[in-house]
Amino acid sequence: MKSIYFLFLLVLAASSANVYAAGSVLSVVCKGDDVGAEVLVNGKFKGECPLDIKVPIGTLKLKVQKKVDASNDRIFEQEIRVGDGVVKRVEVLLGAPKLNAEGKRAKSERLKAAKTEEKNTEEKLTTCTVCPEMVPIPGSDFEIGKYTVTFDEWDACVEDGGCNGYKPLDEEWGRGKQPVVNVNWNDVQSYLEWLSHKTGKTYRLPSEHEWEIATRAGTTTQYYWGDELGFQNANCHGCGNRYEKKKSAPMPVGSFKPNPYGLYDMLGNVWQWTDGCREGDCAKLVLRGGSFEYDSEYLNVSYREGIEATERINNLGFRVARTLP
């Protein structure tokens, strides 16, 4: 019986010797900045590189890693076959920094926070009740204000800390939906800056070309409603509308029918600033559209007027434009 037990121990010892071959050693070699990296075999920490380790025969997963910072590690990984009674030498060259578990978690949190902020910004922009309503122009790469900017919209800019705090006079015509007047070209730039910041989009004045495309709305006549002045088509001196008996004054935006593109008061009511230069050297900037104080001849789609950028007058306003992405 003792002989059988002794024989069993010999067999067991022989088996162990085969699994851990007497001379099977993994020699992990590191140089330079890679010295001191952690060595893991089959996921278990074995020490720091350089390192000689007694290993079992078979296939091993070697991982050598060194922390760069809290979020990044430099890593070397290799699957190694170790035979009987050998010294397996592996020269390690750690790779470029990669995100570790902590780095991936931090990145995930940053992305989540960025998406939340983007969503909040989009919600804020879509609920801007004080921003001008815009109309995309068919066949063009821009959109333009459905109405000229109102006192309500300008006053919102001032109340929000924009427009240099300037509150233009309303000439006792009222504010609200009346077109803002008494704003010069420089005043308008301060409004555009505020609006762009508030919406995250870039607003500007329309060019003369854009203004004319938007005003004509595909027509070729003197006015966008035809070649005849007609009745109740615009607010101008002598336009023959229901406001004639009243003292000459601007009317609330949208008081007349829109043009075929759905734009209101492109002609009449108040002159509109553009970014065009009247004299070529920009000594004067171009106004378009005519106004309530001017005769119908000034409402001609092609008519151009020019004044200096610093002038503020009571029949001059503006509408905004934006290049579409």
**Tens digit of each residue's pLDDT (9 = 90 or more) over 196-232:** 999 999 999 999 999 999 999 999 999 999 999 888 8
277 close to 286: Cβ distance less than 8 angstroms: yes
Q: Residue range 137-156: average pLDDT?
A: 98
More confident call, 317 vs 96: 317
Tokens encoding 307: 């004044």
Q: Is the pLDDT of residue 281 over 80?
A: no
Q: Is the pLDDT of residue 142 over 60?
A: yes
Strand partners, 288: 272
pLDDT of res. 120: 63
Residue 60's alpha-carbon distances to 46, 90, 265, in angstroms, are 13, 12, 80
Q: Is the pLDDT of residue 236 over 60?
A: yes
* Cβ neighbours for 53, distance < 8 A, ≥ 6 positions apart: 25, 26, 27, 28, 39, 41, 46, 47
Domain layout of the chain by residue ranges? 20-99, 130-325
Reported confidence tier of residue 21, pLDDT bands at 50, 70, 90: very low
Q: Which helix (H) or strand (E) holds 198?
A: helix 185-199
Tokens encoding 260: 């075929």
Q: Residue range 44-63: average pLDDT?
A: 91
Residue 298 CB coordination number (10 Å): 20
Q: Is the pLDDT of residue 243 over 70?
A: no
Instruction: State the fold for domain 130-325.
Output: paralog of FGE (formylglycine-generating enzyme) (3.90.1580)
Reported confidence tier of residue 12, pLDDT bands at 50, 70, 90: very low
Write down the pTM of the prediction.
0.63
Q: Is the pLDDT of residue 5 over 70?
A: no
Closest alpha carbon to 23 in 114, 85, 115: 85
Architecture of domain 20-99: Sandwich (2.60)
Q: Is the pLDDT of residue 116 over 80?
A: no
